Amino acid sequence: MNNTQCLSHSKWECKYHVVWIPKCRKKTLYGQLRKHLGEVLHDLARQKESKVLEGHLQPDHI
């Protein structure tokens, strides 16, 4: 699948890596809220005519 956009003298394909951390790194993003946030983020991406290629919710590594 080719998602390259172009103008007369340039081509590009934008991808973003987003890291979302709750305030004070509270461990509140688990359980039912985790599933709901996934749906919300996919809906927001759809509204912006984008798509989420991959998503993970991981415990803090520190």
Query: Quick one: which of 1, 15, 26, 27 has its CA closest to 54?
Result: 15
pLDDT of residue 32: 78
Task: Return per-residue pLDDT of the chain as tens, 62 residues.
Answer: 567 778 888 988 888 888 877 777 677 767 777 788 888 989 999 998 888 888 877 766 66
